[in-house]
Amino acid sequence: MATCSTLMACGLPAYLTQVFAPVLTFTVFSLRARDSGDKTLDTARVFTALSLFVLLAEPLASLVMALAAFLGAVGSFTRIQQFLSSDERADSRERQLREKDPKVDEAIVIRGADIGWDTSKSPLLHDVSLTIPQQKLTMIVGPVGCGKTTLLHAFLGEISPLAGSVYVSSTSIAFCAQSPWHSNGTIRQAVVGNAPFDDKWYDRVVSACALRRDLQELPLGDASRIGSGGVALSGGQSRRIVSFSL
């Protein structure tokens, strides 16, 4: 969708020249000819100019479209170069909970950690120490901007602590981000994902995320395609689908 829109936006001026170029050219020529006393347009000049416009319009349109594609390629190479030049991310989490003590019940343990996104700046979270038990509900609450998401990314290994340590019992952690991500498929595919389809469990999930009414209003039900990035879904539908994926 974005690619088509970009191409249309870049190529539209090139195609408009085929319509407006003859009109503007003949208008300017007539005005200059009247002021300078030169001969006005005649049949030979008109048809010769129109032939030139036809011959030049397609190459010019192709040039504009090629230029848009070239600029897109340059931007892609720039992003690839930035990625290749960036520092390699190392997972600093340590899996020593179960290995040291098989009876330990903690899923995650943080000891004296300073956590932040930019190593050149002061860490957002200072001297954090906490334990999260296994098979229990733990909630992290606080005002906006206090570092809740930063702490979760430290659990995932996306942020390395500037000081202290992060211990996890397993590196297999499910994470549901604030910005939902969807692949281009059907609603059922978005909910099921890579898991094997279980009719009873799928029905429970649909009921739990209040999608049953939405599916009834859609002409194809859960076979409706959500589009790239979930463009066919509302904001609430998008978050409910990604939050309750199997």
Nearest Cα to 170, choosing from 99, 109, 105, 107? 107
Domain-located, residue 214:
yes
Last residue of a domain, one of 85, 111, 132: 85
The more confident residue out of 130 and 93 is 130
Domain ranges, residue 79? 2-85
pLDDT surpasses 70 at 242: no
pLDDT band at 7 (very low <50, low <70, confident <90, very high): very low
Provide the pLDDT for residue 104: 65
What percent of the chain has pLDDT above 90? Answer: 0
Domain-located, residue 180:
no
Cα separation, 114 vs 93, in Å, equals 14
Domain-located, residue 90:
no
Please tell me whether residues 111 and 37 are part of one structural domain: no
Domain-located, residue 33:
yes
Last residue of a domain, one of 29, 51, 85: 85
Please tell me whether residues 9 and 75 are part of one structural domain: yes
Give DSSP secondary structure letters for 65-93.
HHHHHHHHHHHHHHHHHHHHHSPPP----
pLDDT one-digit tens code per residue, 34-78: 666 666 667 777 777 777 777 777 777 788 788 888 888 888 898
Last residue of a domain, one of 64, 85, 106: 85
Please tell me whether residues 68 and 6 are part of one structural domain: yes
Please tell me whether residues 6 and 75 are part of one structural domain: yes
pLDDT surpasses 80 at 207: yes
Q: Which amino acid is at 169?
A: S
The more confident residue out of 31 and 201 is 201
Domain-located, residue 102:
yes
Provide the pLDDT for residue 6: 41
Provide the pLDDT for residue 39: 65
Domain-located, residue 91:
no
Please tell me whether residues 124 and 159 are part of one structural domain: yes
Please tell me whether residues 101 and 81 are part of one structural domain: no
Domain-located, residue 178:
no
Please tell me whether residues 74 and 8 are part of one structural domain: yes
Domain-located, residue 206:
yes
Provide the pLDDT for residue 101: 59
